[in-house]
């Protein structure tokens, strides 16, 4: 792809969670805090995983089905279902990445926490990243 820069492909948009720019005494006008590049993708992944399908009124199918596992036992079966759900959601809702691997396992230090490790590659430049998302079960 010629002529497409990293920031052009990855985009720039509002940071998540939404916040105002830091105060600047030389510039009294504060705008919405923006983010771009790899950080925008990390925030998008967190937003996808943190949203249960049905939460968004105008896009009820958006999100990840991991929230159905909140009251499940924190074991290998739940970890497998969560891994599959994360892979499906990211493949569907985050077109800027290729999901390389998703591995979920109970946190050895917290019996109510499932650690979801996501390895992905950005399509624009083939850079590899990983993100660990903690998911809490009852």
Report pLDDT digits (tens) over 45-102.
Answer: 999 999 999 999 999 999 999 999 999 999 999 999 999 999 999 999 999 999 999 9
Q: How many Å apart are CA 46 and CA 93, to the nearest integer?
A: 12
The model's pTM is: 0.79
The greatest distance separating any two alpha carbons of the chain, rounded to the nearest whole angstrom, comes to: 56
- Bridge partners of residue 114, in order along the sequence: 106, 135
Report pLDDT digits (tens) over 100-114.
Answer: 999 999 999 999 999
Residues 6+ apart with CB under 8 A from 1: 9, 124
- Bridge partners of residue 27, in order along the sequence: 24
Report pLDDT digits (tens) over 120-132.
Answer: 999 989 999 999 9
Composition of the chain by helix, strand, coil, percent to 5? 30, 30, 40
Closest CA relative to residue 96, chosen from 118, 127, 54: 127
User: What residue ranges in 60-112 does DSSP mark as E strands?
Assistant: 97-106
């Amino acid at each position: 792809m010629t002529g497409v820069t990293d920031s052009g492909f990855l985009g720039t948009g509002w940071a998540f969670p939404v916040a105002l720019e830091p105060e600047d005494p030389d510039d009294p006008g504060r705008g919405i805090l923006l983010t771009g590049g790899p950080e925008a993708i990390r925030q998008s992944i967190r937003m996808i995983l943190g949203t249960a399908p049905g939460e968004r009124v105008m896009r009820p199918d958006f999100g990840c089905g991991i929230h159905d596992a909140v009251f499940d036992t924190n074991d290998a079966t739940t970890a497998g279902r969560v891994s599959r759900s994360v892979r499906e959601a990211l493949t569907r809702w985050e077109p800027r990445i290729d999901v390389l691997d998703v591995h979920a396992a109970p946190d050895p230090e917290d019996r109510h926490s499932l650690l979801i490790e996501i390895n992905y590659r950005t399509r624009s430049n083939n850079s590899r990243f990983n993100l660990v998302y903690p998911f809490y079960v009852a």
